[in-house]
């Protein structure tokens, strides 16, 4: 399960850390890996199901990424943003534990399906909107419109690596079912980055003042 969750954990970690500064993106990847490992160790001990499936939570990642973007945009230092995000995550976890102990989860059957579907669709759009600037290699924490409207800040190497990952995700399931498509896509992105490095075209981030 850890192998399947690892790519999304890395992506969510980068998505949360990147708004605090491009240099923190790699630290976000490491944080995602450590989080996935902790999740894989803790969930089996506390889970109440023999068929428990545990993976990084996309809605939580979208909310934390938006919070990080807002805090960073207000001028907070990265250390302050990380502290606030950590406290928010801890409080949210404690609230979830309390709701679980109180049996509130049973009320989900009274929530109409269109509400749940609309909520998850909105989360998906938020994730897509936050990932497009990273796909284009735009530095800082610009919004989707700002990133798209200033092509001078785009990095073609970043878009090439992202395209390789997307292509692998689409093609891999048609070729094999043994290895998860996310793992193949991750390896494809690493291979593309390594090839660019060998050719002396390691992705650089130009300082786009417009963004």
DSSP string computed for the chain = -HHHHHHHHHHHHHHHHGGG-GGGHHHHHHHHHHHHHHHHHHHHHH---TT------HHHHHHHHHHHHHHHHTT--HHHHHHHHHHHHHHHHHHHHHHHHTTGGGGGGGS-HHHHHHHHHHHHHHHHHHHHHHHTT--S---HHHHHT-GGG--HHHHHHHHHHHHHHHHHHHH-SSS-HHHHHHHHHHHHHHHHHHTT--------TT-
pLDDT band for 210, please (50, 70, 90 cuts).
very low
Whether the per-residue pLDDT at 115 is higher than 60: the answer is yes
Model pLDDT, residue 208: 38
When pLDDT is averaged across residues 131-159 and rounded to a whole number, the result is: 80
Question: Structural domain tally of the chain?
Answer: 2
- Single residue among 91, 116, 135 that ends a domain in this structure: 135
Please indicate, yes or no, whether residues 125 and 170 belong to a single structural domain of this protein: no
- Are the CB atoms for 88 and 79 separated by under 8 Å? no
Please indicate, yes or no, whether residues 155 and 128 belong to a single structural domain of this protein: no
Q: What is the value of pTM for the model shown?
A: 0.65
Q: What integer best gives the mean pLDDT of the chain? A: 81
- Single residue among 75, 104, 135 that ends a domain in this structure: 135
Q: How far is CA 99 from CA 3, 4, 94, in A?
A: 30, 28, 9
Whether the per-residue pLDDT at 47 is higher than 70: the answer is no
Tokens 């936050």 belong to residue: 130
Please indicate, yes or no, whether residues 105 and 181 belong to a single structural domain of this protein: no
Q: What is the DSSP letter of 74?
A: T
- Single residue among 84, 119, 135 that ends a domain in this structure: 135
Model pLDDT, residue 49: 62
Q: What is the DSSP letter of 76?
A: -
The Cα–Cα gap between 74 and 83 comes to 15
Determine the length of the chain: 211
Please indicate, yes or no, whether residues 125 and 204 belong to a single structural domain of this protein: no
Please indicate, yes or no, whether residues 117 and 142 belong to a single structural domain of this protein: no
Model pLDDT, residue 140: 62
When pLDDT is averaged across residues 169-173 and rounded to a whole number, the result is: 89
The Cα–Cα gap between 53 and 126 comes to 24
Model pLDDT, residue 209: 34
Question: Range of 196's domain?
Answer: 138-211
């Amino acid at each position: 399960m850890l192998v399947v969750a690892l790519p999304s954990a890395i992506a969510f970690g980068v998505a949360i850390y990147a708004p605090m500064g491009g240099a923190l993106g790699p630290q976000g990847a490491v944080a995602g890996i450590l989080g996935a490992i902790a999740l894989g160790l803790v969930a089996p001990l506390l889970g109440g199901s023999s068929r428990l499936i545990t993976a990084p939570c996309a809605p939580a990642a979208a909310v934390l990424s938006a919070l990080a973007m807002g805090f960073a945009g207000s001028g907070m230092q990265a250390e302050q943003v990380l502290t606030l995000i950590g406290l928010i995550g801890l409080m949210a976890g404690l609230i979830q534990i309390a709701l679980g102990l109180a049996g509130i989860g049973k009320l989900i059957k009274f929530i109409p399906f269109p509400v749940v579907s609309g909520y998850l669709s909105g989360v998906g759009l938020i994730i897509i909107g936050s990932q497009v600037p990273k796909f284009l290699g735009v530095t800082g924490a610009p919004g989707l419109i700002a990133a798209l409207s200033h092509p001078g800040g785009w990095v073609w190497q970043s878009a090439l690596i992202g395209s390789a990952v997307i292509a692998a995700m689409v093609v891999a399931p048609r070729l094999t079912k043994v290895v998860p498509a996310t793992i193949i896509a991750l390896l494809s992105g690493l291979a593309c980055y390594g090839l660019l490095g060998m050719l002396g075209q390691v992705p650089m981030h130009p300082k786009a003042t417009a963004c």
